[in-house]
C-alpha cells in the first residue's frame, strides 16, 4: 500500500481523490488548514497547516510515495501576496518536501486559465503558449506554479500538471453554489451576445484523471514534465450549462444580457473601487470574469487520453442528474 499525501484533502476535488485512494487500499495523509473529522474517522491522517508554512508542508511529505498537490488559493479577487503565498510559495514548499523526503511522484492540479489570453480558445491542445500578461492574480500565480512543477521533473521526482476545467457536481463548494446564489439574488446576467461553447469537468472524472496520471507516471516517466487538459470532452454553450445547473435547483433560466464591453467596463470600475477602499470581499464583476463568461474555452483531450489513459466515465447529463438528486430532500428541491 502506498502512502499518499493530498494537499487540500478536505476540499471538493481533494476529498474526491482521497475517497478513491481509500477505496483502492492506499494509505492517505491529508494536509489542510482546517479540521475534517470525517476524514480522520475514515482513516486519513490529517496534518494541519498553511501552504506558505514551509516546515509544515515539508514535514507532511515525509515517508510519502506520491503527492497530489490540489490545494490552492482560487478566486477572481484578492491581494497579490495572498495568491503568491499559497500558489507559488506553497508549490515551492511542496517541491522541497518531495525532494527532501524522496517522494517518487507529484501530481499537481493546475488550471486551463494559465493559458487563457482573454480570447476564444476552441479545441486548443497543450501547445498553446502562456500569455504575455494576465488580468487576475489567480491565473498568473497558477501559471508560475505550473512552470515550477514541470521544470522539477527528473530522475529524482516525476511530475505532471493537470488542467481540469470548471469542476462541478454534488458537494461542490465553489462553482455551483456561486451560480445558485447569484441567481437567487437576481444578480446573474448573460455576458455578450453569443453563447460560446465551454468545457467543464464532472467531479468524478476530475478525480479519476488524477489517479490515472499518478499510475501512468509510475509506469512511464516519459509522460512526466508535461501539462494535460482535463474535461468531460463535451463542450457545450456556457449559458445552456448554467441554465441546466439552475434547473437542478428548480430555478428559472437566466435570460437577461449585458454586452461584453459594458461588463468589462463595470469590471474595471469595480476593481478600481475595491483597490481604493481596500475591500477584501469579491467584486460583482472583474475584467477576468467578464472575459471568462463571454469567450469560448474548450480543449483537445487527445494527449490525456493517449498518455494517461484518461476516459471520462460520467457524462454531463448523468452528472446533472446526480446534482439534482443531491439537492433533493424529502422529495422537494432545496431552495
Question: Which one of 134, 138, 228, 310 is the catalytic residue?
Answer: 138
Strands 328-329 and 332-333: antiparallel
292, 267 Cβ separation under 8 angstroms: no
Phi, psi of 159 (to 5 degrees): -130, 150
Annotated active-site residue 138? The verdict is yes
- The grid coordinates of residue 12 equal 471538493
Rounded-to-integer distance, Cα 99 and Cα 106, Å: 10
Q: Catalytic residue numbers?
A: 138
Amino acid at each position: 500500500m502506498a502512502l499518499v499525501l493530498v494537499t487540500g484533502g478536505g476540499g471538493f476535488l481533494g476529498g474526491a481523490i482521497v475517497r478513491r485512494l481509500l477505496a483502492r487500499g492506499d494509505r492517505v495523509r491529508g494536509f489542510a488548514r482546517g479540521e475534517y473529522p470525517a476524514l480522520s474517522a475514515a482513516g486519513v491522517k490529517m496534518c494541519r497547516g498553511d501552504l506558505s508554512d514551509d516546515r509544515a508542508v515539508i514535514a507532511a511529505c515525509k515517508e510519502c510515495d506520491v503527492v497530489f498537490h490540489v490545494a490552492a488559493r482560487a478566486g477572481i479577487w484578492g491581494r497579490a501576496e495572498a495568491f503568491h503565498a499559497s500558489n507559488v510559495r506553497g508549490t515551492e514548499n511542496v517541491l522541497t518536501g518531495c525532494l527532501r523526503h524522496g517522494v517518487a511522484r507529484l501530481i499537481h492540479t493546475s488550471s486551463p486559465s494559465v493559458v487563457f489570453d482573454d480570447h476564444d480558445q476552441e479545441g486548443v491542445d497543450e501547445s498553446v503558449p502562456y500569455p504575455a500578461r494576465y488580468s487576475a492574480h489567480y491565473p498568473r500565480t497558477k501559471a508560475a506554479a505550473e512552470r515550477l512543477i514541470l521544470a522539477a521533473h527528473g530522475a529524482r521526482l516525476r511530475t505532471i500538471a493537470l488542467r481540469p476545467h470548471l469542476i462541478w457536481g454534488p458537494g461542490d463548494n465553489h462553482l455551483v453554489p456561486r451560480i445558485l446564489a447569484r441567481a437567487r439574488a437576481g444578480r446573474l446576467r448573460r455576458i455578450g451576445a453569443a453563447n460560446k461553447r465551454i468545457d467543464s469537468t464532472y467531479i468524478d472524472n476530475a478525480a479519476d484523471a488524477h489517479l490515472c496520471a499518478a499510475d501512468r507516471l509510475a509506469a512511464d516517466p516519459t509522460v512526466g514534465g508535461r501539462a494535460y487538459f482535463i474535461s468531460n470532452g463535451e463542450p457545450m454553450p456556457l449559458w445552456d450549462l448554467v441554465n441546466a445547473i439552475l434547473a437542478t435547483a428548480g430555478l428559472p433560466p437566466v435570460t437577461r444580457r449585458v454586452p461584453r464591453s459594458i461588463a468589462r467596463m463595470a469590471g474595471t470600475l469595480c476593481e478600481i473601487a475595491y483597490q481604493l477602499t481596500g475591500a477584501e470581499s469579491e467584486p460583482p464583476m472583474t475584467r477576468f470574469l467578464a472575459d471568462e463568461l463571454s469567450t469560448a474555452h474548450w480543449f483537445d483531450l487527445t494527449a490525456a487520453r493517449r498518455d494517461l489513459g484518461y476516459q471520462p466515465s460520467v457524462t454531463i447529463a448523468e452528472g446533472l442528474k446526480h446534482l439534482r438528486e443531491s439537492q433533493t430532500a424529502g422529495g422537494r428541491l432545496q431552495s
